[in-house]
């Protein structure tokens, strides 16, 4: 019952938003802020589409996406700019926030354009991480090594295209 | 009568001090350029979570946009920024709220009022909220905050982090910091990060950004508008946001600290130069006086022999 109520409320909220968007033309645009510890890629720049890999599966964000929060997993963020240019950037971890006003914020711990990834270095990192995973003593070290393996695998996948 | 020797020793020591302050100024100037450049990259880390806080109405009012900072500051400076919904009815509730205060300073001094400003603001807020040890905890990042605050607030201290400010802070530092705060075993309702926000090389200002935990985000007034997020993801999100905000605050703090140190050392160099000028004059006069005295002695001795 409570759930139904919540769902009902949410759909109502969505309807309300839709109306407010119709009034405000800026709602049609999606301002993307994409930053990593090492670099700012986009700063409140209007783009067409963003695809992000999240913990609960990869998803694409277009303008007027329903507001949501998600945690990034290692993978490739693809940004389609207004002129149709596609930029692919690898991220290690981070968060993505889609706000009510259609602004999107992607924060990553580390992010690098695909072209600057080195396949052989990734391969090396992967084997190192795997051996660490096998030799890990406690739970925490194991979890850390597992994350390292995941990141290295994703880099490898991304670098191989 | 001032001894000539004393003056020359003092003159020499001040000249040495001037050399040191001049070097320190140059060192912090180069560190500052780096810190300022890094800060540009870190700004979105502060902007994004606050934008979300604004959108979910966890924080009332607009987040300060970098372009509109100046105007915003004037309006927002006198009353401390409203953090959560602060109606009079909530006062009682707020008193019971568990708070965490994160003081962003560093280990190094000689940079004007950067660190003491943070400590002073925390002291003020503590007194205003009549903080008791159980509900208000303090996290001191950097040795300076601990040194200033430990005399009065030792029972409130939850964590002390040392070795900040020697090297430029990185994201790893921030996530480590966030991890120890999360693992400290103190569940708070609201956290506040006290840091110095950098504006221009000659201007920095104390700023407070709130941080929220998963529970607070779940209960945000406008959370209904957001899509359903599962528990784990939300927790990750909250923790990551804490790390991002800490990173941002570290960067802002580092930039303001270096700029303040630059100004402080510049002033110190100028003061030393002034003192050197005065002392040189005194030294020359004294030397001349000594010479004159000796001459008089010789001449009067010679005159007496005639």
Confidence band of B76 (pLDDT split at 50, 70, 90)? very low
- Residue B287 falls within a domain, yes or no? yes
Residue B67 predicted with pLDDT over 60: no
User: Contact at 8 Å (CB) between A98 and A27?
Assistant: no
pLDDT at site B74: 38
Q: Specify whether B229 is located in the same domain as B294.
A: no
- Residue B24 falls within a domain, yes or no? no
CATH number at residue B11: 1.10.287.80
Residue in A55, A99, A107 closest to B45 by CB:
A107
CA distance A148 to B233: 19
Residue in B229, B236, B241 closest to A68 by CB:
B229
> How many domains is chain B partitioned into structurally?
2
This prediction has a pTM of 0.82
Q: Specify whether B191 is located in the same domain as B288.
A: no
Q: Which of residues 38-97 of A touch B (CB under 8 A)?
A: 38-40, 43, 54-56, 66-71, 93-95, 97
B219 Cα distance to chain centroid: 32
Pairs of residues, one from chain A and one from chain B, whose beta carbons lie less than 8 Å apart = 97
Domain positions in chain A: 27-115, 117-160
CA distance B74 to B63: 14
Q: B227 and A100 in contact by Cβ < 8 A?
A: no
Residue A136 Cα, gap to closest chain B Cα (Å): 20
Sort strands B190-200 and B203-212 into parallel, antiparallel or unpaired. Answer: antiparallel
Residue in B43, B175, B226 closest to A69 by CB:
B226
Residue B155 Cα, gap to closest chain A Cα (Å): 31
pLDDT at site A14: 52
pLDDT at site B84: 45
Q: Which of residues 156-175 of B touch A (CB under 8 A)?
A: 170-171, 175
What does the pLDDT average to over B259-288? 94
Q: Which residues are bridge partners to B137 per DSSP?
A: B100
Q: Specify whether B258 is located in the same domain as B279.
A: no
pLDDT in tens, B116-175: 999 999 988 888 887 565 678 889 998 998 999 988 888 888 888 888 878 888 888 898
CA distance A68 to B254: 32
Q: Specify whether B13 is located in the same domain as B120.
A: no
Q: Specify whether B184 is located in the same domain as B232.
A: yes
Q: Specify whether B165 is located in the same domain as B270.
A: no
- Residue B25 falls within a domain, yes or no? no
Q: Which of residues 96-125 of B touch A (CB under 8 A)?
A: none
A37 touching chain B per CB within 8 A: yes
Q: A35 and B226 in contact by Cβ < 8 A?
A: no
Residue A67 Cα, gap to closest chain B Cα (Å): 5
CA distance A40 to B44: 8
CATH number at residue B242: 3.40.1380.10
Q: Specify whether B204 is located in the same domain as B290.
A: no
A8 touching chain B per CB within 8 A: no
**A82 CB contacts (<8 Å, ≥6 apart)?**
A46, A47, A48
- Biggest CA–CA distance in chain A, Å, is 59
In B, minimum Cα distance to A37 occurs at: B171
Q: Specify whether B229 is located in the same domain as B290.
A: no
pLDDT in tens, B171-228: 888 988 998 988 887 888 888 999 999 999 888 999 999 888 888 888 887 887 787 7
B52 Cα distance to chain centroid: 26
Classify domain A27-115 at the CATH class level.
Answer: mainly beta
pLDDT at site A12: 52
Domain extent, residue B11, equals 4-19+265-305
Q: What ipTM score was computed for the predicted complex, to two decimals?
A: 0.77
Nearest C-alpha neighbor of B176 from the set B164, B188, B187: B164
Residues of chain A with pLDDT under 50: 16-26
Q: Specify whether B49 is located in the same domain as B174.
A: yes
- Residue B26 falls within a domain, yes or no? no
Place of tokens 């003092």: B10
Q: String of b and e for A57-73 (b: at least 16 CB within 10 Å)?
A: eeeebebebebbbbbbb
- Residue B115 falls within a domain, yes or no? yes
Q: Specify whether B239 is located in the same domain as B296.
A: no
Q: By three-state DSSP, how is residue B134 classified?
A: coil
């Amino acid at each position: 019952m409570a759930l139904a109520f919540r769902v009902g409320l949410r759909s109502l909220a969505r309807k309300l938003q839709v109306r407010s968007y119709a009034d405000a033309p800026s709602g049609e645009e999606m301002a993307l802020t994409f930053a990593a510890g090492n670099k700012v890629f986009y700063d409140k720049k209007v783009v067409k589409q963003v695809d992000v890999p999240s913990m609960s599966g990869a998803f694409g964000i277009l303008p007027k996406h329903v507001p949501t929060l998600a945690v990034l997993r290692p993978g490739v963020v693809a940004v389609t700019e207004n002129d149709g240019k596609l930029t692919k950037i690898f991220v290690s971890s981070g968060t993505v926030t889609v706000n009510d006003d259609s602004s999107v914020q992607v924060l990553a711990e580390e992010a690098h354009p695909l072209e600057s990834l080195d396949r052989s270095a990734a391969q090396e990192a992967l084997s190192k991480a795997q051996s660490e995973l096998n030799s890990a003593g406690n739970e925490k070290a194991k979890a850390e090594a597992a994350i390292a393996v995941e990141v290295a695998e994703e880099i490898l996948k991304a670098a191989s295209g | 009568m001032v001894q000539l020797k004393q003056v020359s020793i003092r003159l020499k020591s001040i000249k040495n001090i001037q050399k040191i302050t001049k070097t320190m100024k140059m060192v912090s100037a180069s560190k500052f350029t780096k810190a300022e450049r890094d800060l540009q990259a870190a700004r979105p880390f502060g902007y994004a979570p606050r934008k979300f806080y604004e959108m979910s109405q966890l924080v009332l009012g607009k987040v300060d946009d970098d372009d509109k900072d100046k105007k915003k500051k004037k309006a927002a400076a006198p009353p401390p920024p409203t953090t959560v919904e602060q109606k009079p009815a909530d006062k009682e509730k707020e008193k019971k709220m568990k708070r965490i205060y994160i003081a962003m300073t560093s280990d190094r001094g000689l940079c004007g009022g950067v660190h003491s400003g943070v400590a002073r603001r925390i002291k003020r807020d503590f007194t205003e909220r009549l903080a008791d040890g159980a509900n208000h905890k303090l996290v001191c990042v950097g040795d300076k905050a601990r040194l200033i605050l430990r005399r009065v607030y030792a029972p409130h201290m939850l964590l002390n982090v040392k070795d900040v400010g020697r090297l430029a802070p990185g994201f790893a530092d921030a996530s480590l910091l966030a991890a120890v705060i999360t693992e400290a075993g103190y569940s708070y309702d609201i956290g506040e990060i006290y840091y110095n926000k950098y504006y221009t090389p000659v201007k920095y200002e104390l700023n407070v950004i709130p941080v929220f935990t998963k529970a607070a985000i779940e209960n945000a007034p406008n959370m209904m508008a957001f899509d359903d997020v599962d528990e784990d993801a939300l927790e990750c999100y909250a923790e990551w946001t804490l790390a991002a905000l800490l990173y941002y605050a570290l960067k802002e703090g580092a930039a303001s600290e270096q700029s303040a140190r630059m100004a402080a050392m510049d002033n110190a160099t100028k003061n030393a130069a002034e003192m050197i000028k005065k002392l040189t004059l005194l030294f020359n006069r004294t030397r001349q006086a000594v010479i004159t005295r000796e001459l008089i002695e010789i001449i009067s001795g010679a005159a007496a022999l005639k």
